[in-house]
A and B are shown apart, each in its own frame.
Chain A
Amino acid sequence: MNPTPFSRQIVALRRFASILLRHPQSALGTALVFFFLFLAVFGAQLAPYPNPNDQSHAPRLSPTIDIGALQLGEHPFGTDRLGRDVYSRVILGASSIFRIAGLGTVISVLVGSAVGLYMGYRGGWFDELLGRVIDALLAIPALLLALVLVGIIRNLDFEIGSWQAELADNVVLLVIAVLYVPVVARVARSSALDIKTREFVEAAEIRGEPTYYIIYREILPSVIPALVVEASLRFSYAIFLVASLGFLGFGARPPSPDWGLMVNENRGGFYQLTPWALDFPALAIAILVIAVNLMSDGIRRAVQKGN
């Protein structure tokens, strides 16, 4: 039976998945990432109190979770100083971190690979010029650049409801894009430099194919594995960045159930009073970052084997 192109892709994907899941670490990481993704999508249905700012509970209740007996109780992760259910807030917080880190990663990979592939393929002064800009951006510490950008944009005065104000509200997304587009572009560029000397690219050039076609149909497919690995790495860094910015008070604004923000709000004197209000969101950040890293390790391994 001759495999159709479609079923060939299925086979490749299954092969990829089987390599990814063969290693227990990467299987665990992948499972955890999907678990958090599930929380992010269905959080509002899963959380016992879907309004993250619901303060109708008694404040400062201890966690009721009993792992031995597999029981959650009334407030599994306790309530914070203002009487909000920490369990619900942690669940509801998954969506914002996935939305911002995920969308930011997608934007950086799309823009970064387009720019990088064009630079690599086209070369010349365009490559030189953008290359220097990218070098300059990469030389600045990421968190510092992020803080400067957020600080500037947040302090601009926009009319409420205007698109600029919308943009300012999603400034973290923009920051992730600005930080990671150069990184992705550099990876894409170096891959493109390698691929463009291959025969099939030269054949396409001789056929007289337009530039976008060569980049999109000839070079891109060969670069995708490298980009997938890069994307998964960027995603883990993006999660860390979103959480860091939230913690530093530059990301989500209160009372949003952002994990980083929750850690920040509950440190200091509050930590003695309601340690669980800090511990659980911090644990969630740690588990998610580790899970994404394990998964991206697995992806890299699978991509290399696949090649």
Chain B
Amino acid sequence: MKKQIKAPASDLSRRDFLQVFAAGAATAVGTIALKIAPLANMAGAQDNTLRIAWLTPATLDPRSASGDSEIAILNALYDYLIETDAAANLVPRLASSWDLSDDGLTYTLHIREDATWHDGSPVTVDDVLWTIQWHRDSESTVASLLTSAASIDAGEGNTVVITLGESNPDFLYNLTDNKFVILKSGAENIGEVFNGSGPFTLEEMIPGDRAILSANADYWGGAPAIERLEFIFFDDQQAGIAAVQGGTADGIMRLDNSSFLGFSADVNFNTTDIPTSGHHLARLRADRAPGDDVRVRQAFKLATDRDAIWERVQLGFGAVGKDSPIGPAFGQYFLAEAEVPPRDPAAAAALLAEAGYPDGLDMTLHVPNSGTWPDLAIAFAAQWEEAGIRVEIQLEDENSYWVEDWMEVDLGITGWGARPIPQLYLDLAYHSEAPWNESHYSDARVDELIELARASLDQAERTAAYKEIQQILLDSGPIVVPYFFAQFMVLASHVSGVALHPFAGRTNFGGASLG
């Protein structure tokens, strides 16, 4: 019989193949088409609208807003009392100036008299007090930031007087909190209706798509140069990046290192990167074996090449770490002169042997499964292996990991977001009674220094305390901090006048102009 019998199985497999290839080809063509098509939109920038790509906001209620896009909208529509600049200095906003009494306990904030709400009425001290009461009534995190204030009252003239129970040199930083926008007294439907005093007014909110903001011509700081500000929402970062590449958006502030590197080589974009105090770290539990032995902690430090990790995982953006949460972004507080011992796997292995682990250590490294964390884990694992520290990488689902496990595991990687003052990190994670003391670290001297820095009004004394803490953590602490990451901003080359804030959502667009 010459004719070949065809089994249906063969037809099926070929058909499957054709389908797979067709799908693949369609995807490829689609990708290319997507990259070309939006270029036609470049012309859209002519109508004096600045379009920024953000992740889709989940809530605009100031009590629960936290993401960049949520804060960005609040920051455009409302005013804060005080804000911080890129170097974490306090900058006046609704509070035009402030005084501190000699005993360090009473702050007097002078509220601007030329500020008005979008409905035309003036901003008053009552509005400030009402906002504080509103937060207290709902027990929000802003209220918890103000618990150290014994009283907050209206003072003489247009002032708010805050009296503290005990001195706190960093108290004003609490007023810069992302959630602490000033609302109009008696405001209703907060989070849905926005009668703010900020540089922009809300023209239209299209949920899941975009927020269209118009310049507030009566803004006390001067009307913005752009007529319109559009925040375009994307559900994932890559989509936002593609929109900027294609020209449907003019800028983006949350993007991964490698995409940023791609933009920085493109003449159509201006890129900005600033080092932040945000950092990633590997930490050992210091309250039980093996991390309770200082030699083991030192072995981890000696086995790590921080420069190589910074160069590879962060592509050299940000700054190299020195095993403490206080980095170069904190300026004078940073122990720049600290000498990190060069990597020496043999010496690390010797320390492990001394500590009772002559054959090295086998541990599980718990890593949140997103961003650059897995890469960091891989880099750590390869370096540590040469010192006999063999780790198995356990990728953890972020949603559940941060709920409970991260405080329990022996060896883990944690990311700490940028904060404006060093004290916050120390109070949160390094004091033996800190709520997020993830390494269960307890060092009497460190506790003493943290408490000293918390209350002292003597700047030199605080600086010395911070520096000593850094040295102790570098010498014997339970953490390895390989780098501080950068905050990025990519803007189309025709956009100017935007100064990036270390927390991207606090970037002000009032000074932006399109040319």
Binding site for B on A (CB under 8 A): 53-55, 59, 81-83, 160, 229, 233, 249, 253-255, 265, 268-270, 272-273, 290, 293, 296-297, 300-301, 304
Contact = CB atoms under 8 A, between A and B. Distances in A.
A59 B259 contact: no
A269 B255 contact: yes
Contact of A55 (B13, B255, B382, B395): B382
Interface string B235-266: 00010010000000000000111111110000
Given A269-B255, A304-B7, A293 B17 contact: yes
B461 interface: no
B385 A53 contact: yes
Given A83-B312, A300-B10, A269 B382 contact: no
Contacts of B395: 249, 253-254
Main secondary structure of the interface of B (DSSP, over half): helix
A290 B378 CA distance: 32
A273 B7 CA distance: 46
Nearest to A267: B238
A254 B262 contact: no
Interface string B376-413: 01110111010000001111000000000000000000
Contacts of B9: 229, 233, 300
B344 interface: no
- Size class of B's contact patch? 35 or more
11 contacts: A53-B385, A55-B312, A82-B312, A82-B378, A160-B362, A268-B238, A269-B238, A272-B259, A273-B262, A293-B17, A304-B5
B369 interface: yes
Given A59-B312, A268-B238, A82 B375 contact: yes
Contact of A269 (B10, B17, B256, B362): B256
A254 B374 contact: yes
Contacts of B369: 249
A292 to B, nearest CB: 11
B258 A297 contact: no
Interface string B292-332: 00000000000000001001110100000000000000000
A254 B378 contact: yes
Interface of B: 4-5, 7, 9-10, 13, 17, 238, 241, 255-262, 308, 311-313, 315, 362, 364, 369, 374-375, 377-379, 381-383, 385, 392-395
Given A229-B9, A233-B13, A249-B369, A269 B259 contact: yes
Given A160-B364, A255-B381, A272 B393 contact: no
A25 B476 CA distance: 64
A272 B261 CA distance: 9
A273 to B, nearest CB: 4
Nearest to A81: B312
Nearest to A270: B258
Contacts of B17: 290, 293
A176 B47 CA distance: 58
Contacts of A249: 369, 395
B7 A254 contact: no
Contact of A265 (B238, B313, B374): B374
Given A254-B378, A272-B258, A272-B259, 13 more contacts: A53-B385, A55-B308, A55-B379, A160-B364, A249-B395, A254-B393, A254-B395, A255-B378, A255-B382, A265-B375, A270-B258, A297-B13, A300-B10
Contacts of A270: 258
A269 B378 CA distance: 18
A289 to B, nearest CB: 9
Nearest to B400: A155
A184 B297 CA distance: 53
A82 B13 contact: no
A58 to B, nearest CB: 10
A273 B382 contact: no
A169 to B, nearest CB: 9
A60 to B, nearest CB: 9
A53 B258 contact: no
A174 B10 CA distance: 27
Contacts of A81: 258, 312, 315, 375
A272 B379 contact: no
Contacts of B260: 269
A300 B7 CA distance: 9
Contacts of A272: 258-259, 262
A47 B364 CA distance: 28
A290 B20 CA distance: 11
B256 A53 contact: no
Contacts of B393: 253-255
Of the candidates B17, B260, B362, B382, the one having the most CB atoms from chain A within 10 angstroms of its own CB is: B382
A293 B258 contact: no
Contacts of A268: 238, 256, 258-259
A4 B373 CA distance: 64
Contacts of A273: 258, 261-262
Contacts of A59: 311-312
A296 B311 CA distance: 47
B405 to A, nearest CB: 11
Nearest to A54: B382
A290 B14 CA distance: 10
